[in-house]
Amino acid sequence: MTVPGADGPVSSGATPSDGGHARIEALARVRALLLSLGCADDEIDRAVEDGVIDLLVVDRVLVPSERLLTLAEVSDRTGLAAEDVRRFWRALGFLDVEADERSFSELDVEAIQIFQAMVAMGMAEMEVAVQMARVIGTSMARVAEAQTAPGTTPVPQTSGDPVLDADTFARQADAFVPAMGRILEYVWRRHLQAATRRSMAHRSHGGDDDLRPVMAVGFADMVGFTMLSQHLGDEELAAVVSRFEELAHDTVVALGGRVVKMIGDEVMFVVPTATDAALIGLSLAEAYADDDLLSDVRVALAVGPVLTREGDFYGPVVNLASRLVGVAHPGTVLVSDEFRRALDDEGAEGIDARPLRTRTLKDLGRVQMWKLLRAGVAPGADSHRTLRWERLGGVLRDLDELHERTTRTGGGSAPGEPGRGDAVGPEGEGALEGGDAPAP
């Protein structure tokens, strides 16, 4: 049956018993919107009957251009070889399509033509353009995933009715999508400004585009995260990760650093000078030590030439900092010998470096390490961290005892599962790999 709507008949299924007057009005609005975007009545009716009207609205609102072109037709339109079209498509993070599948729209053609124009104007070579597409695709995929988290506009909590969900999404997206596009452009422009200034400053000081810039690289790793994740529920774990990222990002950025990436319980950052990196590292250790929700972090710093590629950093300096963070104790900041010398060369004030024994690090050989402290801070002033770890260790041991009792009564882990509370404490986790023992 059909029910008259504001913009024509409403599809069968939209009766008062199915959702009342509000649902009828919602479907009328959705139908009017989809018709304005080029959908046919029969396509809308099928989507309603199949219970996917909300997905149809998402497709047409976010990518309004119809998919009418095959890979060969895109190649003909752009003059780009089909395999190069595929390279751009993959670089942007989209799934491969069959040769005869009509999966491309006018928007896709326009995007490829923009990349072609950049190459033609000498702004980038083909390989560089593909790399840029890969960076854009990866970054935008992460933004999109973050925006579709529960409670995030424009994705509403499902009502169980695709018609009502489609109507809600359409009304929210109408305001949200254009605004988000402007925000993304604004943030990109500001970051492009900063990156261009850094690049120009590097060249004006005698740097060469082919030479690696000298940067201080840091890693901060939250201690005990793996063990905590075994015991926390999804909401509690999400709160811990969110707080870790917030504290890391705010601390690094406020002191002039740049967050390169966050991977779960670890953050990587860069900054031009060793002095600024040392201040960031010490501030991170202090910030997490004072936070009631989080455990301490281990921090490691190294300095030297780095390879920059696709917004990331590579090379021996990055490898050294990554290795050092694995052997640091909770709440401490470890640095390499080269980093300590860089602090001396820069005339850093308010920072002391305490020598530790040399260690053999995987793939790097013998490394002299130093522990950073605020000037005037006694080596044993971090005893409160020991108390924090004793309390955390007690909680996890209690949870493990409960886990063992559950296992004995018929539930729990698989045979041979290791205990999860054994390594908690200042001498746990990272300390198992070595490092200087905490001062008494």
Would you state the pLDDT for residue 38? Answer: 87
- The half-sphere exposure of 319 on its side-chain side, counting CA atoms within 13 A, is 10
Would you state the pLDDT for residue 151? Answer: 61
pLDDT digits (tens, 9 = 90+) for 341-356: 999 999 989 999 999 9
Would you state the pLDDT for residue 431? Answer: 37
Would you state the pLDDT for residue 211? Answer: 62
Element (H, E) at 259: strand 258-263
Would you state the pLDDT for residue 8? Answer: 41
Would you state the pLDDT for residue 277? Answer: 95
- Evaluate whether 14 touches 24 at the Cβ level (below 8 Å): yes
Tens place of pLDDT per residue across the chain (440 aa): 333 333 444 443 444 444 578 899 999 999 999 999 889 999 999 999 999 999 999 989 888 888 889 999 999 999 888 888 888 888 888 888 888 888 898 889 998 888 888 788 776 678 888 888 888 888 888 888 888 776 666 566 677 889 999 998 888 888 888 888 899 999 989 988 887 887 787 666 655 545 678 899 999 998 877 777 777 777 778 788 888 888 899 999 999 898 998 887 889 999 999 999 999 999 999 988 887 777 788 999 999 999 887 778 889 999 999 999 988 888 999 999 999 999 999 998 999 999 998 888 887 888 889 999 998 776 554 545 545 555 555 555 555 555 566 555 554 443 333 333 333 333 333 333 333 433 33
Which residues contact residue 343 at a Cβ distance below 8 angstroms, ignoring those fewer than 6 apart?
274, 275, 278, 335, 351, 353
0.75 surpassed by pTM? no
* Residue 422: how many other CB atoms lie within 10 Å: 13
- Evaluate whether 339 touches 346 at the Cβ level (below 8 Å): no
Sign of the C-alpha dihedral computed for residues 311, 309, 258 and 221 taken in this order: positive
Name the E strands within 306-388: 307-309, 312-314, 333-336, 351-355, 359-361, 365-367, 369-374
Sign of the C-alpha dihedral computed for residues 397, 398, 403 and 407 taken in this order: positive
pLDDT digits (tens, 9 = 90+) for 241-290: 888 888 899 999 999 898 998 887 889 999 999 999 999 999 999 988 88
Angle at which helices 106-120 and 82-91 cross, to 10°: 100
